[in-house]
Chain A
């Protein structure tokens, strides 16, 4: 008996967490899938009625906007935050005297909640009260920065605020990675006369592939959670130009008593996340195994 216990202790230790995730993540996704096939309104109902919710979803112009925004926002946010984080990490890696202070300045936005971030940026980006007004006050009468109130450009303000909040964290990840590259290889390359930028592109960056994974996971997680930010910064507006599937889902579930719709939009959102994250995870963990 004790031998069996000894052999299986690792599995037993892992089991509670695994079961919890099975129930509270996958179980709930299954629940959502079930509800997305019903005619639930204010509270969930469980009689299956088919795909009506999905029909309604795809016939909704607001969903089209939200879905499109997910790709615009998600792609821009993840790519730019990664690039910015990497660039800042490389810059900070150059033996800067005030590195500690600068690093703290880049990192602190992550500490703020999305409500705070959204509120502050809403002020700054407001054409009449914020940056545009200030620069015009300095004499540049033609300066315009009214993205926030322009239906076509508003989504980019969300990208901007989200990057502001998270790029510091990505920078910290990359900085840590840069610093754990083997010194010997770098010295050897320098002795060989390879220029600095080349050392980065050919040696250092490729060796940080695992960090790209961590950064990608963190950023994707934040992109999906950016619900709070949208609500605080634009409220989904102008009109519904900055709606995202997460805010669409929330509106359907909680302001419109239309839980069936909310569930179907959530399922589509999970499918997209699944389609992007799973292949990436698979390839990364696969290669690590060997």
Chain B
């Protein structure tokens, strides 16, 4: 940690009061930013706990006069997403079925690709890597139509495996990037020594690189999980009745253009849909930074 603040014997001669003032302003600044980041979540939470009348007549930021959990109940199992009024619960499971395999496969592939590009330099490896990296930049709208055609030809259109397939393909750029950056900082001598000992490609990966990879695996898993769980475009285009993910359900609840807008239900549904990713970030955030620190971001 760059411990620059603890320089009590600093030759620049900062006075004690000066340092305390600096400290206070530091904390104030951090607090102001914290408020900035928390404001929308606060609004969403309080709105989801208010009744519709209170929302209509009240203030944006005011705390609920009367806390009701009706909106939450409705959002989970009663909101109308079409003819069925079953809330987001049925779709939640679809998202899980899509996200977990998607994350696992793309992480594994990214690890192997990163390993190859970082440690097994062959002619053109860097060019191949750059070409793969460019895949991070393609806007998804561009690929919707041709992908629909391809999925149809492969016979997996509208299925969960179809969605997993799409997410894996378009996650490869990022997962490869994360692992490659991480493995590049592992000294090549390690690999050389293992080769001299007679270990092969997969052996070296399994016994040397994989054990070292926990931090970057966490980073990759968090990133991929967020991307896949929060995706709407692929979800709406490549699913059919019965395989729609939770983002499609959320959209149906929040964006119905006719009828009474139940803002409290909308907000509750949005928070429910966001809970897994929020959970991952809050719980694993510490490992996230640790993972990034452990050399993943450096070239």
Contact = CB atoms under 8 A, between A and B. Distances in A.
> Do A and B make up one complex?
yes
Interface of A: 6, 9-11, 13-14, 16-18, 20-22, 24-29, 31-32, 44, 88, 91-96, 100, 102-117, 119-121, 123-124, 129-131, 133-134, 137, 164, 168, 172-173, 175-181, 183, 186, 190, 193, 195-196, 199-200, 204, 210-211, 213-214, 217, 220-221, 224-225, 227-228, 246, 249-250, 253, 259, 262, 266, 269-270, 273-274, 277-278, 281-282, 284-285, 288-289
A190 B7 contact: yes
10 contacts: A6-B201, A11-B122, A91-B29, A102-B30, A103-B285, A108-B278, A110-B281, A116-B270, A277-B134, A281-B130
A190 B14 CA distance: 14
DSSP class of A's interface residues: helix, strand, loop or mixed?
A: helix
A57 B294 CA distance: 47
B129 to A, nearest CB: 8
Given A28-B147, A115-B247, A106 B270 contact: no
Interface residues of B, number: 104
Interface stretch (B37-45, B66-74, B77-85, B206-214): B37-45
Given A13-B116, A14-B125, A220-B137, 19 more contacts: A11-B116, A14-B113, A14-B116, A91-B26, A95-B3, A95-B5, A96-B27, A103-B285, A109-B37, A110-B226, A113-B273, A114-B230, A115-B270, A116-B250, A172-B288, A180-B298, A183-B2, A214-B297, A289-B126
Given A94-B26, A111-B281, A224 B139 contact: yes
B5 A9 contact: no
Contact of B109 (A17, A217, A284): A17
A92 B293 CA distance: 14
A181 B278 CA distance: 30
B190 interface: no
Contact of B274 (A111, A250, A253): A111
Nearest to A263: B142
Contact of A94 (B4, B37, B41, B282): B4
B220 interface: no
Nearest to B110: A17
A25 B138 contact: yes
A6 B200 contact: yes
Nearest to B283: A104
Contacts of B20: none
Contacts of A112: 230, 274, 277-278
A175 B289 contact: yes
